[in-house]
Copies of this chain bind each other. A is one copy, B any other.
């Protein structure tokens, strides 16, 4: 199989490989003159909208194997910060079972398990972004067959926090089953993630699609929360050059009101993505893990072909309002269209356009032509990405 960088096997090690990726993003998010915040001094436009650009991800790392053991390490330098993306050791000496210890993804949501190199649009669905699913440190067990898997883990948060006073526990579990042959398969899956006090979400918020912006149009503000339970359902499929994926998810967050009374605030999200490869490829899918993987162009540019070109459409719903608990984070409906071009394997260009409707925004308001403001408003945006990995 063609890799982006050499892989080495020798005395005492197998498949040692250097890893890395660069994603350069540019976006135009409107309308910065008309969307902003209101204070006693009047309306202030949000300059975090408008023309934005950033290195979205830039990583280097290594992976390899020693006997039945494997490891993976990757570190990200985007945003002027240093964040380890993976740092784990795996044991694969038992049939159908892998045991993984270290810093790794928790098992919630299908799209969160897919590499950021291989997702449909420039960003993942808005709901899993709002609830900040992320890597944690712990132990997972992955039990899998040819067309199914069940992976569960227990984690302790604060793996990279020097001064973490309270380490919360996290338990998550995800499974899937794939029906049908390779060229016409249907995927069904589900996942749950429980987060104990100290590890639970203390704030839910969301950028307007593109990460290069620092604005959050949805925002619950800080919450006095004590634990959370995520539940998600997945349905996806690939039928020749056509593919789709849809996820439904809900987060129950235990919060305390000012009187100290606990109740469960409920937040919901849903997404639907449809795509089609104009150049005839089938979107790559890993049957034993229930995740999308790297799609290679059938006819690379420069070898008589044009690469792989796919077009995708999406709709995405996020509801961060929980009125019984007096939490008003806002609601968001996003429509997306995307074009993705892979001229050769390991290189990808993306163009996304989107219309987003915000309802009940708590943090931002729209300035109307008559000088009044409203908390229900729409905005248009587009983004571009150049991506390489090795």
A73 CB, nearest partner CB in chain B, Å: 6
Closest 9 CB pairs of A and B: A2-B12, A53-B156, A6-B8, A80-B160, A79-B162, A24-B102, A67-B344, A47-B165, A101-B386
Which of B10, B75, B165, B300 touches A6 (beta carbons < 8 Å)?
B10
A61 at the interface (CB under 8 A from B): yes
If A55-B160, A84-B58 touch, does A137 touch B167 (CB 8 Å cutoff)?
Answer: no
Asked whether any CB of chain B lies closer than 8 Å to the CB of A239, the reply is no
Q: Decide: B80 and A58 in contact? CB cutoff 8 A.
A: no
Chain B residues within 8 Å of A159, by CB: 53-55
With A24-B88, A158-B53 in contact, do A60 and B58 touch (Cβ < 8 Å)?
no
A378 on the B face (CB < 8 A): no
Q: Is the CB of B64 within 8 A of A5?
A: yes
Hey, what's the 0/1 contact readout for A57-75 against B, CB within 8 Å counting as 1?
0101110101111010101
What separation, in Å, do the CA atoms of A374 and B299 have in the docked complex?
73
Contacts of A10-37 to chain B: CB distance below 8 A: 10-13, 16, 18, 20, 22, 24, 26
* Segment 162-190 of A: residues with Cβ below 8 Å from B: 162-167, 169
Interchain CA distance A75-B64 in the complex, whole Å: 19
Contact A345/B88 with A69-B388, A388-B71 known, Cβ cut-off 8 Å: no
Q: Are A214 and B164 in contact (CB under 8 A)?
A: yes
**Min CB gap A207→B, angstroms:** 11
Contacts of A38 in B (CB 8 A): none
Oligomer: number of copies = 3
Among B2, B79, B87, B163, contact of A160 (Cβ-Cβ < 8 Å):
B79
Q: Which residues of B contact A10 (CB under 8 A)?
A: 3, 6
Q: A3-B13, A67-B300, A160-B80 are in contact. Are A89 and B18 (CB under 8 A)?
A: no
Contact partners of A103 in chain B: CB under 8 A: 24, 55, 58
The CA of A81 and the CA of B82, in the complex, are separated in Å by 7
Q: In the docked arrangement, what's the CA distance between A138 and B55, Å?
A: 10
B residues near A386, Cβ cutoff 8 Å: 89, 101-102
Q: Which residues of B contact A2 (CB under 8 A)?
A: 11-13
Given known contacts A80-B162, A214-B163, A386-B102, is B53 in contact with A137 (CB within 8 Å)? Answer: yes
Please name all residues of chain B whose beta carbon is closer than 8 Å to the beta carbon of A164 when the two chains form the complex.
52, 214
- Whether the Cβ atoms of A301 and B67 lie closer than 8 Å is yes
Q: Are B158 and A54 in contact (CB under 8 A)?
A: yes
Identify the A interface with B (CB < 8 A).
2-6, 8, 10-13, 16, 18, 20, 22, 24, 26, 47-48, 50-55, 58, 60-62, 64, 66-69, 71, 73, 75, 77-82, 84, 87-89, 93, 101-103, 137-138, 156, 158-167, 169, 214, 300-303, 343-347, 386-388, 390
Q: Decide: A75 and B102 in contact? CB cutoff 8 A.
A: no
Q: Are B161 and A67 in contact (CB under 8 A)?
A: no
A-B contacts besides A4-B66, A58-B75, A89-B347, 20 pairs, CB < 8 Å: A2-B13, A3-B10, A3-B11, A6-B8, A18-B18, A22-B88, A24-B103, A51-B167, A53-B158, A58-B73, A58-B87, A60-B62, A60-B73, A66-B345, A67-B347, A69-B388, A78-B160, A80-B162, A89-B386, A89-B387
Listed A/B pairs (17) with beta-carbon separation below 8 Å? A2-B11, A3-B11, A3-B13, A22-B89, A47-B165, A50-B167, A52-B156, A52-B158, A53-B137, A55-B103, A55-B137, A60-B73, A62-B390, A69-B344, A69-B347, A77-B82, A79-B162
Q: Which of B62, B169, B390 contacts A64 (CB 8 A)?
A: B390
CB-CB < 8 A to A303: which residues of B? 67
